[in-house]
Amino acid sequence: MDEKYAKWKGLERPTIDWHPEINEDICTGCGMCVTTCGRGVFGFDLTKNKAVVSEPLQCLVGCSSCEAWCIFGAISSKDKKYVKNVIRENPNILVQAKKDLKQKS
């Protein structure tokens, strides 16, 4: 995992179970997920000619763009209520988010 993705709003990223999953039976190997993900979550299995989730912890918590980009419906992610619960259980996330916004301005 790239060190810059090691934490999300102060939480250790490995403690958050958020990443896409690929249904290998549906994946056509078009590569759309590989090319559109800006965080390098996906790789490609040349033997199977299918995309793979090679760096799941690099996925931005709450992101499901790859799911929308996959016109074949091969990618799924957890219900976004999961992220809502993570935030609810860790109130310091909102404090960290506000700090991040101040640093950007």
What does the pLDDT look like over 7-31, one tens digit per residue?
998 899 999 999 999 999 999 999 9
Q: What is the pLDDT of residue 17?
A: 96
Q: Are 36 and 65 in contact (CB under 8 A)?
A: yes
Token pair belonging to 5: 């993705």
Q: Measured in Å, how far apart are the chain's first and last C-alpha atoms?
A: 28
Which of 11 and 95 is assigned the larger pLDDT? 11
* pLDDT band of 89, cuts 50, 70, 90: very high
Listed residue (43, 55, 38, 78) closest to 3, CA to CA: 55
Give me the half-sphere count of Cα atoms (radius 13 Å) on the Cβ side of residue 24: 8
Q: Write down the number of H helices and E strands in the chain.
A: 4, 6
| Domains of the chain and CATH, by start | 18-104 (3.30.70.20)
